[in-house]
Amino acid sequence: MRNTKWFIRPGTLVIIGFLIAVTSVGVVRSAYHHMGEIDSGIFLTVYPEKAGTKLDNCNTCHSGGSYVNTSNKTVTLGSCQWCHYKYGYDASGNIDETLNAYGKAYKSAGRSTAGVIAIEKDDSDGDGYTNKAEIAANRYPGDANDTPAKVAAPYRVYTRQQLEKMPQHTQFMLMNTHKSDDFYAEYTGVPLENLLRKILLPSATNIIAYSPDGFSQYHPLTPDPDPIFYHIFGRYPAAQFYYDVQADKALNKDGWCDYSAPSVAGRYHGQPINNPQGLKTILAIKRDGQYLTPGKLTPQNKLDGEGPFRVVPPQKIPGPPDQKSSSKVQNVIWPFNNDADHSAGFSARTVTIIKVAPLPAGTTEPDLLEAGWPYADDQNPRIMIYGSIDPVPTIKEKLAVLSSTLWHSKMSSFTHWGYRSALATRVNLVQKWVMLGWYSKAVEDLKGHVLIRTDGCTANGAVDSNDWVADCEFQKQLYWSINEVLVLLDIVN
């Protein structure tokens, strides 16, 4: 945990690439596009439209894995951490042990653009879809659980700049931990209630905040009597400032609380803490005026740092900083209290994904051990919120992509030169119905005028008499893109 400096005491007013040797122990997040790695560039040469998509990522060719630790517990790791574990920061391991089926096929084909093209018609992961079809649909060709038939839940992606344009909330508070040092700090960010309330579906009941290493934390939307469940909606009780020399790490070798933050200056023991807007669960962006330290993987394969975002709940039951449980010195003013409110332990660090539960019917979620690392990028930090939220923005985004795909496709992909324009124009009409909120009309047009013209290859393995698209691979891409929109329209229709 990062700590900063300080106050008045008594007596004084940051993907491993597709196939890359990682040699630096200071690697932050993933090492994708790092240290001379060439394979991502080769992939994007063949599929330039995939730049910035989920396929522009290490786990297109790499997979996660698991091992049994010294406590006889199974530890499951995503592709970044698995590569660090198996291949090592010093490249002493076997890279093949980190590759998925597509990565192995690519390597066997020669690690070249010709190799990427050569395996397009293969079904590397054995899920019934060719590599080309999966890549066209933005699905991982090396993961049998990720197929075009899976429809991602509605989502939003917010950049840090976007979050900072929202009304900011600052609160001074105690971060009371269980085993680590406690500390006081001033966090600034967006109240999660403000961020979520306008986009939630009526079915939403709770959120789960995820760190990219797989750590997660549950939060109900409304207050829950269970002391370990920190709610999102509403305020928390006001607190007071606690200070004692015994607790002060700077003045006592057995101290356990860090009072060094600038926001502590001028405060005294027993003083009420005044947060004009109250205490709330916030998505923190800054700590004591500085951006949160970006999360990174240490050489021990552990997550270090708080940023770019941290979900920070206050104490439900305000109290003093108590001695950490691991200390042998408990004869102090505030010894460790197992019943105390250790809210810091429920404050997820380096949060890049928030799931709003439950998922809408017919939708699925990202691989939570893989999807978060690109969002932890310290140059462009972002957070994704998905699940039981308004799907209309996602529908509009997917229709825009579908329209662009049709308008920019080859005439030779269609059974008649006029069909490209006809399909694209109909999709544009569907976009209009969605803009007007006429969702039933949008479903009717998509099913009756678009899907029926692109379903032969998916249903029968060949172009049928009603199809307007002659290229089966392209037809399948369109079919699954249309299916995604229809599933999402069912949520609001």
pLDDT at 17 over 80: no
Question: HSE of 100 in the Cβ direction (CA atoms, 13 Å)?
Answer: 26
Same domain, yes or no: 256 and 382:
yes
For 8-36, b/e burial (b = at least 16 CB within 10 A) is: eeeeeebbbbbbbbbeeeebbbbbbbbee
- Is residue 206 in some structural domain? yes
If one counts the domains in the chain, the total is: 3
Contact 261, 288 (CB under 8 A): yes
Same domain, yes or no: 54 and 102:
yes
pLDDT of residue 179: 92
Name the pairing type of β-strands 206-210 and 353-357: antiparallel
pLDDT, tens only, 271-292:
999 999 999 999 999 999 999 9
pLDDT, tens only, 84-107:
788 876 778 888 999 999 999 999
Same domain, yes or no: 130 and 162:
no
Same domain, yes or no: 298 and 362:
yes
pLDDT of residue 47: 93
- Is residue 15 in some structural domain? no
Same domain, yes or no: 415 and 376:
no
Q: Pick from 347, 364, 390: which residue ends a domain? A: 390
pLDDT, tens only, 135-157:
988 889 999 988 888 899 999 99
Same domain, yes or no: 164 and 311:
yes
pLDDT of residue 22: 27
DSSP sequence for 162-175: HHHTSPPEEEEEEE
Q: How far is CA 59 from the centre of its chain?
A: 14
Q: How far is CA 135 from the centre of its chain?
A: 21
Same domain, yes or no: 118 and 236:
no
Same domain, yes or no: 423 and 331:
no
pLDDT of residue 88: 79
pLDDT at 66 over 60: yes
pLDDT, tens only, 344-377:
999 999 999 999 999 999 898 888 877 888 888 8
Question: HSE of 365 in the Cβ direction (CA atoms, 13 Å)?
Answer: 21
pLDDT, tens only, 403-449:
999 999 999 999 999 999 999 999 999 999 999 999 999 999 999 99
- Is residue 31 in some structural domain? no
pLDDT of residue 34: 52
- Is residue 34 in some structural domain? no
Q: What is the mean pLDDT of residues 213-240?
A: 93
Closest Cα to residue 353, out of 208, 160, 173, 145? 208
* Whole-angstrom distance, CA of residue 216 vs CA of residue 233: 19
Looking at the chain, the whole-number percentage of residues with pLDDT higher than 70 is 92
Query: The tokens of 82 are what?
Result: 């698995």
Q: Pick from 367, 390, 413: which residue ends a domain? A: 390
- Burial label for 141, CB within 10 Å (0-12, 13-18, 19+), is buried
* Whole-angstrom distance, CA of residue 461 vs CA of residue 337: 66
Tell me which residue has tokens 């929202």. Answer: 166
pLDDT of residue 26: 29
- Is residue 13 in some structural domain? no
What's the whole-model pTM score?
0.82
pLDDT of residue 1: 31
pLDDT of residue 32: 47
**Residue 31's pLDDT band (cuts 50, 70, 90):** very low
- Is residue 17 in some structural domain? no
Q: What is the mean pLDDT of residues 65-87?
A: 81
pLDDT at 109 over 70: yes
pLDDT of residue 4: 28
Name the pairing type of β-strands 206-210 and 216-220: antiparallel
**Residue 315's pLDDT band (cuts 50, 70, 90):** very high
Same domain, yes or no: 311 and 338:
yes
Same domain, yes or no: 363 and 484:
no
Q: Pick from 390, 409, 432: which residue ends a domain? A: 390
- Is residue 10 in some structural domain? no
Looking at the chain, the whole-number percentage of residues with pLDDT higher than 90 is 71
Mean pLDDT rounded to a whole number for the chain: 89
- Is residue 7 in some structural domain? no
Same domain, yes or no: 132 and 220:
no
pLDDT at 78 over 80: no
Q: What is the mean pLDDT of residues 2-24?
A: 29
Structural domain including 453 reads 392-492
pLDDT at 465 over 70: yes
* Whole-angstrom distance, CA of residue 269 vs CA of residue 259: 12
Closest Cα to residue 284, out of 274, 295, 269? 295
* Whole-angstrom distance, CA of residue 46 vs CA of residue 62: 19
Same domain, yes or no: 67 and 155:
no
pLDDT at 255 over 90: yes
